[in-house]
Chain A
Amino acid sequence: MTNPILEVSHLKKYFDIKGGIFGKSVGEVKAVDDLSFSVNEGEILGIVGESGCGKSTAGKSILRLIEPTDGSVKFEGTDLTDLTSEEMRQLRKNMQIIFQDPYASLNPRHKVERIISEPLLIHGMKSSKERKERVKELLEIVGLEAYHASRYPHQFSGGQRQRIGIARALANNPKLIICDEPVSALDVSVQSQILNLMEELREKFKLTYVFIAHDLSVVKHISDRVGVMYLGRMVELTDKHTLFNDPKHPYTRALMSAVPIADPDIERERIILEGDVPSPSNPPTGCAFHTRCPYAMDICKEVRPEFENVDDKHLVACHLYN
């Protein structure tokens, strides 16, 4: 068994809702509420969930791009929440992030050269000749050409821009990359190019990914283990084969049955959930899913289910299994 490179325990991120003339806090949005999981070295952990479930907030809180409210994040044994911002900055060399929107995450006024070399400069590569070499190397690694370095982001297509984002993330040889919906803004044919590239890079550089996405089929394809989030909490976490063949949590089942499959001959049971995801500023008591759950019992309204092992390494938060 390999060691966990990242351990997240009881992570919470509450955003204050400001109101009134003095901007007093009148409530909280519980974006991430008691999230725990660990990622092993060299593994791809997928996190799926619908919009507003807190998956992106979780990704950013792990890197302390937004400060978590409570809980701890351990990277290779060091608790990140205790570090000063300077120590954190040093450590970010090892932890990088790729964002969803390749149009918004690159500065339109900088050339690719500068975009990719900035992290190099920040982390101490002073010689400009070395940086140029490294940029060239990185561009080739992600499947672009060296001459692309002198171009601006708007001269690239969406897929190419995402490649630039990946090159930038790779610049300082990180160990862990958090991928926040890296392919959801791309077309299908380009999406598969990027997914393949990310897999190649993982093998080549022994990377670990936390892969956040809303598309179940993409997550299934790339991940080793998958966690499902609902309203700021993890409801199910296991390896992908178990999750997709034997989903336990009613929400996971509904989510899977809702994914349209490009095959007209497949007949399957369809679970259509009623209503919308409740607001995270006023989450339901007990189990957050009980308002939409077809199997809700009395206990679900009152007691929040623990996130526990049901089978071997199959964690579920549901009263049905306890």
Chain B
Amino acid sequence: MPEPILSVQDLHTHFLTDNKEVPAVDGVSIELHKGEVVGIVGESGCGKSVTSLSIMQLVPNPPGKIVKGEIKFKGKNLTYATEKQMRKIRGNEISMIFQEPMTSLDPLFTIGNQLIEAIRIHQKVSKKDAKNYSIELLNLVGIPRASEVVDEFPHQLSGGMRQRVMIAMAMSCDPEVLIADEPTTALDVTIQAQILDLMRNLNKEKQTSILLITHDLGVVAEMCDRVVVMYSGKVVEEGSVREILKDPKHPYTKGLIRSLPNIRTTEQKLYSIPGTVMRPSLDQVGCRFAPRCEHSFDSCWEENPKLLKQESGRQVRCFLYDEEKSERGVTSNDKSYT
């Protein structure tokens, strides 16, 4: 296996709120290889966005702080990078697309202005060349009348167009890694299909690695090679798309997939996971999912489950698959976790 282009090891990002420390990200490890699309899935508050902000060193400090862990991009440890070094990487080698295309563009500047700024920060080109390049980029992401749109303001564009502009901006310096934080959540399905198609082409043609953060398992199925499922600040399961969606192991992943209404089949009643997501806290012992889990037993409340690994890279954080702990024999046909 070659070195991953981006690797996150044991990342802990805490927030200080009301004099209490909240471990929003609690020991997350993720690897992203060249040309790969990895999805991070989870519900609101599970720490998926904070993970991506931590990678970009964009966690507001205070109240947020990376207390532990290592983020390696092509061998460089970003946690030690100075702000100046980070600026060279951000937008140039690692780019990010945010959820809300409305708020991530400056309403006071034209589209061209904002694109040209991003290009000229990282590349030594004249304004005129940068503008021509911007038009080229806008064409590339499928914006009609690109030469007029460069001189327009964000409010003159629709949501889908704005997200295309964001992608154009993110692609302007040919980044090796693209972090997309819920890129299509604010968009309609037909527009979402267009944007996903665009991202898929970028990945295929330029071998850009994509870290896709989403709550939508449908989007994951269409885009990703591998999936990381997060719950309450921790990775609970990792595997290939097929493994996760077809054969989920962790009770949370299972519940999540079962609670999706399916457009293909008709069920009388939807499955629902009882209760709501717990807020992560430092003094909590035991599995975070135990209060909502129908399989929970004593160990789940007393100890923190470890992330169990299979050789193929499949991982799951659950005592049910731990032979020493589980009394229920769920592991009998699943002996390969170590």
Contacts and interface: CB of A to CB of B under 8 A. Distances in A.
Given A189-B259, A220-B263, A254-B190, A263 B245 contact: yes
A259 B263 contact: yes
A133 B193 CA distance: 50
Interface string B238-260: 00011001100000000111011
A159 B276 contact: yes
Interface stretch (B13-21, B76-84, B266-274): B266-274
A221 interface: yes
Given A50-B188, A193-B272, A272-B194, A188 B263 contact: no
Contacts of A256: 263
A311 interface: no
Interface string B107-138: 00000000000000000000000000000000
Contacts of B218: 259-262
**Interface size of B as a range:** 35 or more
A189 B255 contact: yes
B221 A264 contact: yes
Contact of B193 (A221, A264, A272): A272
B188 A51 contact: yes
B43 A192 contact: no
A212 to B, nearest CB: 14
Contact of B269 (A196, A216, A259): A196
Contacts of A199: 269
A190 B266 CA distance: 19
Of B160, B191, B194, B263, the most chain A CB neighbours within 10 A belong to: B263
Contacts of B194: 272-273
Contacts of A272: 190, 193-194, 197
A218 interface: yes
Interface in A14-60: 50-51
A188 B43 contact: yes
Interface of A: 50-51, 157, 159-160, 187-193, 195-196, 199, 214, 216-218, 220-222, 241, 244, 254-266, 270, 272-273, 275-277
29 contacts: A50-B188, A50-B191, A51-B159, A157-B276, A187-B44, A188-B43, A192-B270, A192-B272, A193-B273, A193-B274, A220-B266, A221-B262, A221-B270, A255-B189, A259-B189, A260-B193, A260-B222, A261-B222, A261-B263, A261-B264, A262-B217, A262-B221, A262-B257, A262-B262, A264-B246, A270-B193, A276-B160, A277-B158, A277-B188
Interface of B: 43-44, 144, 158-161, 188-194, 196-197, 215-222, 241-242, 245-246, 255-257, 259-264, 266-267, 269-274, 276-277
